[in-house]
Structure 1
Amino acid sequence: MNKPLGVLVGIVVVAGALNTAGAWYTGSKIEGVLQTSIEQTNQELAKQLQGTTTHGTIELVSIERNLYSSTAHYRLKIQDDKAGPDAKPVELLFVDNIEHGPLPWSRIKTFKWMPVMAVSNYSLEKTPFTEKWFAATKDQAPLKGQVTLGYDRSVDGHMELMALETQLDEHSTFSFSGMTMQAQTDADGQNLKAKGYMDHLKLNAITIENPPVTVELNGLTLASDLKKTDFGFYLGQNVMALSEGQLTYGVKQSVIKLKNFEYTDSASANGNLMSGRLAYNVGDITLDGKPVGSAQMVLTASSLDIPAMQALLQIYQNKFQPQADGTLPQTPLTPAEQVQMQLQVEKILAAKPQLALEKFTIKTANGESQLNVVMGLAKPTSFEQPPVDVTKQMLTALDAKLLLSKPMIADLSAVQAQLVGQTDPQAIAKMASMNSEMAGVMAVQTGLAKVEGNNILASLNYADGQVDLNGQKMSLEDFITAMSTRFGGVASQ
């Protein structure tokens, strides 16, 4: 044997010995790692489901250890209290083929040579409860995935829901293209990144009493980039985008279609204070092939006291969360709970939060309407003062602007007429025009807005006890009196 070949063989032998030793070590530790991971998962499940009627737990049923791999079985139990005390929990069984590190074969053959603790290859098992699901996927495991666990306790996972087509009942069908999800976390799940994609979903439901209903979703994308806070929950960014959605319904089988829907949220914390932003956007809406318009909404909040909000949420979950039968609890707040609730509200107001509807826009073929509202809050010196004085101190600023397009009102009135079955074009046009003009007349009569050309305009500004309504300045007391007179008179007519 020549010297280079001998060196190469020596390296291979040493690497194989090290891998065997590493696999033995990993195999001896794997059960403890799994139990710790399951405990953490159950704790996180309990947190996420707190305040709901649903409970879930995961348990390790068995594990068979070998030198290079282990086989584990898990049970996922899901119980909904609404189902009643005698209802059995839903049980899903999973089998997991765990390849021991440091060099699992599935990574070697894909040229991933970085040592890892283990690679988990899990899949849903066939049971009497899941056999119909298996039948819909042609006896393939409907849910499967792979998780790579690093020695630094980082996790890199991939999950796949298989495509399926099934007959839900004698008349209804369901088809699904499948969905993939990928996620990565560092040690103890402090930082989480995830993304997923679904190509197509279609539900066609038909009943004897009602016309057919068809729901279709195409091109669904999900993405998250989150960081766990010291308060036990995640903050960061989430995105959900849908290329196209369609609803077919009614005797005439009307079709409502939307395109380019997007939802995004982001949140961050600075000490005990949280800021957040929610945005909704619908790029295009049509009814029976005719354009309706588009819409956009942006909501923001800042300086929200996190511990105080958590305390209020806990009181709500304990006292006001609906019970299993859907009814609200009848037990009133105790004096101590009332004091606690007021204390937390005061803490929230002391942080001087600001809430805003930054943008609410509806655009149709002939017009565009806009609304934005910004409001600042603060803690009053006492809630025992007269209501007007409490309001003056608690509401530090309010600024609202409205631009309402009469052509847009006419466009949406025409759509509403179509939805209720009106088919005469002349009647629809006449009703739409009348509704848009009526809106302008009512706005002027109430004194809340003015009309300029094709637009209904309104503005409201409040600061330091003074109100500016459409350029008319007055004290807060005079504003309250004016509104009471106007709307009290309208209500009494």
Structure 2
Amino acid sequence: MKKPLGVLVGIVVVVGVISTAGAWYTGTKIESVLQASIQKANQELASQLEGTSVHGTVELVSLESRFYSSTARYRVNVQDDASGPDAQPLELLIVDELEHGPLPWSRIKTFKWLPVMASSSYVLEETPSVEKWFAAAKDQSPLNGRATLNYDRSVVGHMELLPLDAKLDESSSLTFSGMIMDGQMDADGQNLKAKGYMEHLKVHADTPGKPPVLVELNGLTIASDLNKSTYGFYLGQNVLQLSDGQLTFGERRSELKIKDFEYADSASATDNLLSGRLAYNVGDITLDGKPVGSAKMVMTANSLDIPAMQSLLQLYQTKFQPQADGTLPETPLTLAEQTLMQAGVENFLSAKPQLALEDLTLKTVHGESHFNVTVSLAKPASFEQPPIEIAKQMMTALNAKLQLSKPMIADLSAVQAQLAGQSDPQAIAEAASMNGEMAGVMAVQTGLAKVDSNNILASLSYSGGQVDFNGQKMSLEDFVSVLMTRIEGMSGEPVGTTRQ
């Protein structure tokens, strides 16, 4: 018995010595590590919020170091310039209890024996900025979390937002089930993964003089898997899924419900060229208990020159982005800025970008419609040419197809009538059917589309200066002339005239 006991005691002593030595080392290094992390966080905030009206900073307010642990306090300030010059910044104070490594007790007791630099447990501290948030959480800290700092300075964390039940004012309220978030990030923030889940959110807003609005969201999941590019922004995938949601609005208290909503985006880069995909999907839509349909949209972009886009974006933010009061800057472009803009446009087009609405699908009870369009661009030989020649050279290819269901138009017309307060089912059905048929008649009369049974069809393709419009081949010049003539026929006025 003595030998095994001696071995066990020896192991405990060794672990104790290692832990003590590690704790001393961590305790002497923790401040420099925190300051480095905060500096990195501020750089990242500035980078990711560039071009928006929001900016924020993080600072270490205090650090109380002990042998085995430390207490750090951070201040986070967030300011939205769009709220006006008199708006006060949102101030968050976070208290972080740090256990020094390599073997923090909170990890040992949960059988996590892999050495780490530190383990932290943090909570939001009450300040005037968040006192209502605390009250809604029944005077508990509404935000808390845990994080582990590894010796390679990677971080693994878990954050919780507590349930809330609050009156926003005398007639408005908010109910929130809480939310959990898990994430991990490497030392330099190059790789980031996060996942979160919210069970329920309900907001009731009642504004004087307007009908009350009720918004309900159930089963929200968000997830990200991102890698930072050499240009400073993140690439990868983001997904948002919502089990169901409801909007109650209007004098008639109409109820619009959706189910199985999903948003997904992805982006990747090869050298200096960016590709991306954006998709929305709504599995089911109902209005006042009656089925409306479903919807899907997919957009893609390929061969986008990143430096050119960044240059143009920076110029836009400087010269064209609306100010806090909604007005546009009045300072004209300087000669140097005009040169910079032209160079950005030329570089963007030189990469031969391709933009596409790959699929727009709307499906109702009685019909289904589709639309897609793809455009390929290139740099023209010169911008000092007639507009038609620039268009020929800049747009190397275009393909578009439309299939518009007349029964779908009728279904949506019935929905519109329902929203307008009409209640006679027979009158609604007759008007809706007439609208579907009228759409087909107008398409044929204007020559912009054809009718095949219950579908209105249109197609347009362009390549090498030649256009195929609904099966009719012509030059780009002739197509522009035909299009202008038909638009004039629809409006009854020559294109370009102004009504007095």
Give TM class, smaller chain: over 0.9
Partner of 2:329: 329
Question: When the two structures are superposed, what TM-score results if normalisation uses the length of structure 2?
Answer: 0.97
Q: Distance in 2 between matches of 1:485 and 1:211?
A: 45
Q: CA deviation at 1:255?
A: 0.1
Which residue does 1:491 correspond to in 2? Answer: 491
Moved more, 83-92 or 321-330: 83-92
Deviation at 1:398, TM superposition (A): 0.6
- Matched with 1:384 is 384
CA distance in 1, matches of 2:461, 2:484: 18
Deviations 1:316-353 (A, max 9, x none): 11111221222111111111111111111111111111
Give the residue type in structure 2 aligned to 1:337.
Answer: E
Aligned partner of 1:194 in structure 2 is 194
Shift of 1:86: 4.4
Cα distance in 1 for residues equivalent to 2:84 and 2:214? 31
CA distance in 2, matches of 1:105, 1:73: 21
The yes-or-no answer on 1:98 pairing with 2:95 is no
CA-to-partner distance for each residue in 1:258-313, whole Å, 9 max, x for gaps?
00000000110000001100000000000000000000000001000011101111
Paired residue secondary structure (1:427): helix
Aligned to 2:209: 209
1:484 partner amino acid: M
1:140 matched to 2:143: no
Q: Secondary structure at the match of 2:388?
A: helix
Other-structure match for 2:130: 130
Secondary structure in 2 aligned to 1:187?
Answer: coil
Superposed, which structure 2 residues align to 1:266-345 within 5 Å?
A: 266-345=266-345
Identity %, equivalent residues: 71
* Structure 2: distance between partners of 1:79 and 1:305: 32
Distance 1:489 1:132 in 2: 60
Q: Deviations over 1:450-469 (max 9, x none)?
A: 00100001111111111001
CA distance change for structure 1 residues 187 and 399 in 2, over 3 Å: closer, same or farther?
same
Consecutive unaligned residues in structure 2, runs of 5 or more: 494-500
Alignment-derived partner of residue 169 in structure 1: 169
* Alpha-carbon distance in 2 for matches of 1:407, 1:81: 48
Q: Is the 8 A contact 2:446 2:489 kept in 1?
A: no
Check if 1:398 corresponds to 2:398.
yes
Alignment of 1:245-256 (within 5 A): 245-256=245-256
Q: Specify whether residues 302 and 446 from structure 1 end up closer, same or farther in structure 2 by C-alpha distance, changes over 3 A only.
A: same
Q: Does 1:375 align with 2:379?
A: no
Residue 15 of structure 1 corresponds to 15
Q: CA deviation at 1:433?
A: 1.0
Count residues with an aligned counterpart: 493
Asked whether the 8 Å contact 1:52–1:321 carries over to 2, the reply is no
The residue number in structure 2 matching 1:26 is: 26
Aligned mates of 1:44, 1:185 — CA distance in 2: 13
CA distance in 2 between counterparts of 1:399 and 1:53 reads 38
Q: How has the CA–CA distance of structure 1 residues 42 and 262 changed in structure 2, closer, same or farther, with 3 Å as cutoff?
A: same
CA offset at residue 477 of structure 1? 0.8
CA RMSD of aligned residues (A): 1.1
Distance in 2, Cα, partners of 1:156 & 1:323: 39
Query: 2:467 aligns to what?
Result: 467
What is the TM-score with the length of structure 1 in the denominator?
0.98
Q: What does the per-residue CA deviation read over 1:111-147, in whole Å, with 9 as the maximum and x for residues that have no partner? A: 1111111111111001233222112111211011111
Alpha-carbon spacing, 1:84–1:354, altered in 2? closer, same or farther (3 Å): closer
Per-residue deviation, 1:49: 1.8
Instruction: Report SS of the residue matched to 1:129.
Output: helix
Q: Deviations over 1:347-396 (max 9, x none)?
A: 11111111111100000000000001111111110011111111111111
1:239-273: CA deviation from partner (whole Å, max 9, x where unpaired): 00000010011121110000000000011000000
Q: CA deviation at 1:10?
A: 1.2
CA deviation string 1:61-80 (max 9, x = no partner)? 00000011100111111222
